[in-house]
Amino acid sequence: DVKVTQSSRYLVKRTGEKVFLECVQDMDHENMFWYRQDPGLGLRLIYFSYDVKMKEKGDIPEGYSVSREKKERFSLILESASTNQTSMYLCASSPDPVGYTFGSGTRLTVV
């Protein structure tokens, strides 16, 4: 089975901190994605990447950046964390239109 691993299950950070959320997949997928999930809003796409060093903005990229230096790893960066970035963050990877696999999520609280 494809595994998408997010390094932290829970994180608490202070306002203004630089925050790194890490995601690793073990099946050589080209496509990787970062979503945030908020109650009543569903999942919203932040950034995605279809290849190493390639990145594309999703629907809500403001306040975030990403890094993909290796195919298996896709990092989400909060340059200066703010309280409105408190959320559940989900990483996903996919080799094709059928096979999206999601990680277990990182619940980030910014205080």
Q: Where on the chain is the footprint of other proteins (CB under 8 A)?
A: 30-31, 33, 35, 40-45, 48, 50, 56, 58-59, 90, 94-98, 100-105
Closest contact distance (angstroms) between CB of 15 and other proteins is: 25
CB-nearer residue toward other proteins: 85 or 106: 106
The SS3 assignment for 84 reads helix
CB-nearer residue toward other proteins: 18 or 54: 54
SS3 content of the chain, % helix, strand, coil (to 5): 5, 55, 45
What whole-number distance in Å separates Cα of residue 33 and Cα of residue 60?
12
CB-nearer residue toward other proteins: 84 or 97: 97
Question: Do 85 and 108 contact (CB within 8 A), yes or no?
Answer: yes
